[in-house]
Copies of this chain bind each other. A is one copy, B any other.
Amino acid sequence: MRVGVLGGGQLGRMLALAGYPLGIEFRFFDPNAGAPVGQIGQLIAADYGDHAALERFLEGVDVVTYEFESIPVSTVRFVAERMKVFPPVKALATAQDRLLEKQLFDDLNIPTPPFAAVDQIQDLQRAAARIGLPVVLKTRRMGYDGKGQAVIRDAASLDAAWQQLAGSPLLVEKYVEFQHELSVIGVRDTTGREVFYPPIENVHREGILRKSTAPAPSVTPELATLAIEYCRRLMDRLAYVGVLALELFSVDGELFANEMAPRVHNSGHWTIEGAETSQFENHLRAVLSLPLGVTTQRGNSVMFNIIGHIPPVERIMAVEGAHLHLYGKAPTEKRKVGHVTLVAQTSAGLERGSIELGLALGLGSNDA
């Protein structure tokens, strides 16, 4: 079995590390010849528009998946005309456009903060009046990790926000004062069978995920069931195959969908040690039509991202039960270069370990 993976970052690298024990071979495609997967697998480095290179990439491959959600849909369509591609192109196209994504949520009765498309300043003014400030103006496409967004807290800032982002297709939505950011990770196979990991609680700072805790301490069993039900609706509608992550806000005991990612997800990295089958292995099982693995948890897990620079690894590895994952990337500011997961049998044990690990990682109290 050989899986072709579009994108060669850390998610691709972790897919390969999960797949090698299953006897799966990999070929990666990434415009960057120095992509992290190059150290551990076969990499074809070419532009996503290079059809000859894509043809080479497909030779001898059994199925194609992707690990990066900003891959041009045209690339995935080109591949899909020649080869099975999972998750389906439609999921990728929807996730790449915040407006289509919110409309899908609406259509499936998944609550989402009020939103509107913005093509001109008048759209923004009208929507802000209807929704009520504060609102967030966002590009419909390609924003991630907090880029391409402007929060508007008063009417006087509408113009400045418009000036900042105009030129791209935009949407505006209610700025949500959430208590918690959550995510749900589901897996669906080619026969429609589905498994889910328990909801995860996430902490972002500067738009970048810092910490994930699973299961989410703030989530009641009822809310967990509801979050999973939302993820299930999305997967069923999209005839989804693979891992889907749905990000949600929790506000006064209610859930609002924020966005979805049609790929393995940073908030699911804890599953490598914290669940019986990791999200990476289950994604591969799904796209290869193999039986899905159970998602049973091994305890309570916390994951910290390593961002910008790598603290002394000896200190991290001296924390009992800390599992270090480095991605083979050159550290630069705001870049995710690794993560650490800790699994404990009790939430008290997890809290103790988190404090120790936070010190080893040199985190401030905001992130630990």
Contacts and interface: CB of A to CB of B under 8 A. Distances in A.
A314 B291 contact: yes
B17 A20 contact: yes
Interface centre among A291, A321, A323, A325 (most CB of B within 10 A): A291
Contacts of A310: 23
A6 B110 CA distance: 56
A23 B318 contact: no
Interface in A272-289: 276, 285
Interface string A296-321: 10100000000000100110011011
Tier of interface size on chain A:
20 to 34
Contacts of A291: 314, 317-318
A355 to B, nearest CB: 18
Contacts of A25: 39
Nearest to A23: B326
A21 interface: yes
Nearest to A1: B313
Interface in A331-347: 338, 343
B276 A290 contact: no
A148 interface: no
A40 interface: yes
A293 interface: yes
B22 A40 contact: no
Contacts of A41: 40
Contact of A317 (B13, B290, B318): B290
A8 to B, nearest CB: 14
Contacts of A338: 23
A17 B21 contact: yes
A165 interface: no
A311 to B, nearest CB: 12
Contacts of A321: 276, 293-294, 296
Interface in A1-47: 13, 17, 20-23, 25, 39-41
Nearest to A41: B40
Contact of A328 (B23, B294, B328): B23
A21 B326 contact: yes
Contacts of A323: 21
A324 interface: yes
Contacts of A328: 20, 23
A125 to B, nearest CB: 50
Contact of A314 (B21, B40, B290, B296): B290
A14 to B, nearest CB: 8
Given A20-B40, A313-B22, A320 B294 contact: yes
Nearest to A323: B21
A291 B313 CA distance: 10
Contacts of A325: 21-22
Given A23-B338, A285-B317, A294-B321, 10 more contacts: A13-B20, A20-B328, A21-B323, A22-B313, A22-B324, A23-B310, A276-B343, A290-B314, A291-B317, A298-B298
